[in-house]
A and B are shown apart, each in its own frame.
Chain A
Amino acid sequence: MKIGRREFLSFVIGGAAGTALSPLPWKLMDDSSIWTQMWPWTPVPENGEASYVNSVCTLCPGRCGITVRKIDDRAVKIEGMKKYPVNDGGLCLLGLSGLQLLYGPTRIKGPLKRSGKRGQGDWERISWKEAISEIVEKLGELREKGRPQSVGAISGSDRGTVPRLLERLLTAYGSPNFFRMASVRDSYELTLDIMQGVQALPGFDFENADFILSFGSDILEGWGSPVQMMRVNSAWKSAGVKVIQIEPRLSNTAAKSDKWIPINPGTEAALAMGLAHVIIKELLYDNGFISADTSRFDDWKQLVIDEYSPDSVAAVTGIDAGTIVVLARRFANASKPMAICGRGDGTHPVSLTECMAVHALNALTGNINKKGGIFAVSDPDYIHWPEIEMDSTAAVGMQHDRLDGAGSRKYPHSRYLLNRLPESILSKALYPLEALFIADANPLYTLTDTQDTGKAFEKIPLVVSFSSFMDETARHADLILPNHVYLERYEDVPMPFGMLQQAVGLARPVVEPQLDTRHVGDVIIETAKGLGGSVATSFPWKTYYLCLKETLGEKWQAMVVNGFWSGSKSIDQALKTSFDTASGKFEFVDPNTGLKPQFKPVQIKGDERQFPLLLMPYDSIRLAHGYIGDPPFMVKTVEDIVLKHNDVFVEVNPKTARAAGLNDGQRALLGTPLGTAKVRVRLFEGIMPGIVALPRGLGHTAYDDYLAGKGINVNTLIGPVEDPDSGMNAAWGIRAKLSKI
């Protein structure tokens, strides 16, 4: 065979063209590309009918209105509800992540009974009938033995029908031991009680205030209702309202404020007193208000003048005297100045005298119960249930002192002192706690001194959790009766702490319950009915739904239509009832106890020589640190200077780090009197020398792999310090040391 050039070329070209024209290569290429676009393991969300359901987010005390977008029966996106009084369309990142909780892997699929050792994680699935009869049996037994007081309940909140039903169950049963999770709200309640003689919450007219003096309140990290506060802050920016932030660390709030004044930690009350000193000395206070509406001003004035000169306050706070004087003048000369307190996001109370000292500043400027000031507001009064019928067992049980000492002679004004419960159980000073119910709270994670809390829980024979999620407390419970998550249930949701508006939102099912869960309200009602007698008759409702509808009465319809019911802005009403003291005036000094606004240093734990540094927890809006832990989306937003793989960074001033021989990123041991933890060092110029800071919200041992095992729980390193005036936990930190590994 002889092949010439011509044959050769035709062979090559013909061959190429022939292959190219055959469908085979094209078909194969096309198929392969289609296949890569449709890998069966890459989900393709189904399309369907779009709809929206309004509800309320209860993942934190912020209580925002939400609008949930649905496709057929699936919830696909949570958005902020427009015109909702709290958030008007905005939403925080936790609220936005809600569907990861609804459909997430940490949910408890049905009632569980512990089968192994406590905390081991071995469970047996039981039916709801078995679960409820199990509780009824135990409660019946205790009651028969005449020890109803040994049953307790911890609730995330005490407002709205669900917490009230739980409290009602305890009362009808015969126990005074209903506990609410603490927060700065407790400090404010006590302050208003003592200084204004009212059982009320503070309402802040932030909209009309023109000068904000924040004693460590992280307005942008979750203090108050987080979304509302951010909106308020933006309004301040637009209106040119000045915000002065006083705290030892450059928080986001401090960075956004007009002036950040670093202060020695725990000395905020001293500064408040120092400012009062200047205001009084320079006669900058509202003389009309002071003379007409206040009482015992002179008693307090003497203390202020004698002990809180700018120089002495400067020595305590580390803020120079000149700054104190200027700040006092600016505050007093503003037309609507407002001073607020509650460190960080306000999850923890402050000492009573501190809250009083800050509140006294508002009284000095007369900015109470008027536009741009602070109001005492009462809960909307919509829950009118029949009197609880108490049989003799219940009546005797209710005679007992509370285990936490709240309302006792020592702490007459305090309503709940959950922080004292672990010690009370461990010291066996009163009587044992034999059964504990926990709803919307995760005390084994959130109470400071986690070890002590754990030990106390070990002493309780029956721990029942209503948690929807496998959190730390649920993990250590004996029985879990999982509640629907908020997107599956009805609930009335009062407006959050700090707002002026009288309003109640309606949380309602966005989707059908996804798992074998039950509304905690129904479980309470069923349990009461199971117990029979007067307990049962105290619960005349068939179901929680009917109870709620009946409770809300004519408001129900409005709430279904609008998503919430709102009353008037009760400013006028508040004025009339706000000073209900014996004198009918604002009291600078408690006439019964002589307690007055002042600086009483909180003696935090640890020996200064052994622990030369101070450890402070800090709050970040990107880290939920209460009952709900960070869903995966939120964890994703946590910066790599806070968490890297499983290591948490402790913030240290470069000066402090240098002294300890530590560099940026280096591993170190952080020790406190309560324990030690491995951390990494992050040099941060925004923190005072001598202080180290750790974020709250990490170090979960429960929840899912997206959260568990990351970082450390700062509550394991910090213990509570009792405020001698209120019994509340007033710890703002603990002594610490940082050493090389």
Chain B
Amino acid sequence: MDSALIPKGVKRCPLWQFLLFIGAVGIVLLWGVYAMLLCWFKGLNQTNMNDYYGFALWIWADLAVIAVGGGAFFTGLLRYIFGKDELKNIINYAVLIGFICYSSALLILAIDIGQPLRGWFIFWHANVHSMLTEVAFCLSCYFGVLTIEYLPLVLENRQIDKVPFFHHLGHNMHEIMAVFAATGAFLSFFHQGSLGGVAGVLFGRPFAYREGVFIWPWTFFLFTWSAAACGPCFTILVTKITEKVTRKKLVKDNAIELLAKISGWMILTYIIAKTVDTWYWATVTAPSKGFTLMEFYSNNALYGIWILVAEILICGYIPAFILITKKGRKNPLGVWIAIILAVIGVCLNRWVMVLQVMAVPVMTFDHWALYYPSWQEVATTILPVAYGVILIAISYRYLPVFPNEAEMNPIEPLPEEAAAIEPSMAPEQELTPAEA
């Protein structure tokens, strides 16, 4: 009976197969929920965090999902503000992935703070000087924007759309989507940036500290830039994985290629800026505090110089060069390698800017402590992944996420179904959110 919910003109797997899949991922989700409840009811002692690792796996996951979720705002920006029409085929999915990333980020934050029931103090007693305040405001607002961007897609479900109220609501929302896309881009610029500012303003921590302009340290701009650069790679990555899993072509190559190309140039410019920033920090900022570069990358078992090489050279320049060349973009393996490296690169950057920042000893008699996450941390970090997979699976099954799917994967309609297609619906069906 769920066939009534499935969009017209596309083929989906049998319901039992779908439920089996959801069930399997659901078990992982429940494991995460259990760990989450443990953290809420018993407190953060369930984690292996400590006073030297007050920011740990979760905050990394938080920053990482926000970074890779940057595909949503940047694709929206390209599509609506810069008018890159090819991207209309991927914008829905970009929004969905963004929605998942941002809702996950908020969920992780709600587990991570010591007093979840007081989380709203950040708004109520806001300290405008704090980067985290800026993050909280922009993040919440942008999540609202993403919800609004995602909602019309939900309203397009075959059955919901039949309700006139929802039909019109969806229609109206489509009409003002450009406004939200612009708002989203603006908000994203700030919260991505302020996440970078979180580390950059820590003048007590020379490893993180950066000079900048006015109240914004360089990391502010680097974070925004890197999210805009690598977020689309994540969107492409998830799209490609979805295509592999569904064994269907879902997004036209021209959209992917365009996004990849823009991403490539963004990564290149970002990584050059990052290189300059690192150079300046290593030769001017750190020495002014009495540190040499290598002091941040030695005397412990984990954080060797490899991490800097991996972040900048391997996961920065290599994907950039692959994606900016036509040859690279046309080579399927090359694209796979590039997007994976770019995603790893931005995640590695967030790890370094969170965990290593706190781990690097500053007092001469202090020491590097190392940390490994507890299972509760791992479970609650996997929780959003499971949740994302489920949300994607449901959305894909029941919502017209990929506007070109039916066109690119024609099916032989059963005779009675073909007859049942109401002519009046046809124009509406072409109305994708992107065009509304």
A, B assembled together? yes
Instruction: Write the residues of chain A forming the contact surface with B, with a CB cutoff of 8 angstroms.
Output: 1-5, 8, 29, 32-33, 35-36
A29 — which chain B residues lie within 8 A by C-beta? 120
Q: What residues of chain B lie closer than 8 Å to A3, measured between beta carbons? A: 165, 168-169, 172
Cα distance, A4 to B118, chains bound together (Å): 39
What residues of chain A lie closer than 8 Å to B169, measured between beta carbons? 3, 8
Which 3 A/B pairs are nearest by Cβ-Cβ distance? A32-B117, A3-B168, A8-B172
Instruction: Give B contacts to A, CB under 8 Å.
Output: 115, 117-118, 120-121, 164-165, 168-169, 172-173, 175-176
Taking CB atoms, residues of chain A closer than 8 Å to B164 are 1-2
> When chains A and B are docked, how far (Å) is the Cα of A8 from the Cα of B155?
15
Chain A to chain B contacts (Cβ below 8 Å), 20 pairs: A1-B164, A1-B168, A2-B164, A2-B168, A3-B165, A3-B168, A3-B169, A3-B172, A4-B172, A5-B172, A5-B176, A8-B168, A8-B172, A8-B173, A32-B117, A32-B118, A33-B118, A35-B117, A36-B115, A36-B118
**Interface core residue of B118, B165, B175 (most chain A CB under 10 Å):** B118
Please, how many angstroms separate the alpha-carbon atoms of A5 and B176 in the complex? Answer: 9
Residue ID in chain A nearest B124 by CB atoms: A29
Q: Are A5 and B118 in contact (CB-based, < 8 A)?
A: no
Q: In the bound complex, what is the Cα–Cα distance between A36 and B165 (angstroms)?
A: 42
Please indicate the chain B residues that have their CB under 8 angstroms from the CB of A1 in the complex.
164-165, 168
B161 CB, min distance to chain A CBs, angstroms: 14
Given contacts A32-B117, A33-B118, 20 further A-B pairs with CB under 8 A are: A1-B164, A1-B165, A1-B168, A2-B164, A2-B168, A3-B165, A3-B168, A3-B169, A3-B172, A5-B176, A8-B168, A8-B169, A8-B172, A8-B173, A32-B118, A33-B117, A33-B121, A35-B117, A36-B115, A36-B118
Across the interface, B117 reaches (CB within 8 A) one of A5, A8, A36, namely A36
Identify the closest chain B residue to A35 (Cβ).
B117
Main secondary structure of the interface of B (DSSP, over half): helix
Alpha-carbon separation in the docked complex, A8 to B170 (Å): 10
| Distance to closest chain B CB from A254 (angstroms) | 19
| Chain A hits for B175, CB < 8 A | 5
CA distance A364 to B173 in the complex (A): 102
CB distance from B344 to the nearest CB of A (A): 33
CB-CB under 8 A from A36, the residues of chain B are 115, 117-118
Chain B residues lying within 8 Å of A32, measured Cβ to Cβ, are: 117-118
- Enumerate chain B residues within 8 angstroms of A35, measured Cβ to Cβ: 117
For B115, what are the chain A residues with a Cβ–Cβ distance below 8 Å?
A: 36
- Whole-angstrom CA separation of A33 from B169 in the bound complex: 37
Given the complex, which residues of B lie within 8 Å of A33, measured CB to CB? 117-118, 120-121
Contacts of A4 on B, CB cut-off 8 Å?
172
**How many whole Å from B50's CB to the nearest CB in chain A?**
13
Give Cα distance in the complex from A36 to B164, angstroms. 45
On chain A, the residues within 8 Å of B121 by CB distance are 33
Bound CA span A579–B343, Å: 88
Min C-beta distance of A639 to chain B, whole Å: 13
Q: How far is the CB of A268 from chain B (nearest CB, A)?
A: 33
- Interchain CA distance A217-B115 in the complex, whole Å: 51
What is the CA–CA distance of A8 and B169 in the complex, to the nearest angstrom? Answer: 7
A32 CA to B120 CA, complexed, in Å: 11
> What A residues does B165 contact at CB under 8 A?
1, 3
Separation of A8 and B179 alpha carbons in the complex (Å): 15
CA distance A736 to B185 in the complex (A): 72
A4 to chain B, nearest CB (A): 7
Q: How far is the CA of A35 from the CA of B172 in the complex (A)?
A: 42
**Residue of chain B at shortest CB distance from A8:** B172
Q: For residue B436, give the distance in angstroms from its CB to the closest CB of chain A.
A: 12
**Which residues of A have CB within 8 Å of B168?**
1-3, 8
Q: How far is the CB of B28 from chain A (nearest CB, A)?
A: 30
Query: Chain A nearest CB: distance from B354 CB in Å?
Result: 25
- Chain A nearest CB from B370 CB (Å) reads 13
A3 to B169 Cα, complex, angstroms = 7
Which B residues lie within 8 Å of A2 (CB)?
164, 168
Within the complex, the shortest CB–CB distance from B255 to chain A, in Å, comes to 30
In chain B, what residue has the closest Cβ to A28? B117
**How many angstroms from the CA of A510 to the CA of B357 in the assembled complex?**
50
A5, closest chain B residue (CB): B172
A528 to chain B, nearest CB (A): 55
Chain A residue at minimum C-beta to C-beta distance from B166: A3
Which residue of A1, A4, A33, A35 has the most chain B CB atoms within 10 A of its CB atom? A33
Nearest opposing residue in chain A for B115, CB measure: A36
Return chain B residues, CB-CB under 8 Å to A5.
172, 175-176
Residue of A nearest to B167 (CB): A3
Residue of A nearest to B114 (CB): A36
From residue A524, how far is it (CB to closest CB) to chain B in Å? 49
From B168, B172, B175, name the one whose CB has the most chain A CB atoms within 10 angstroms. Answer: B172
The smallest beta-carbon distance between B324 and chain A, in angstroms, is: 42
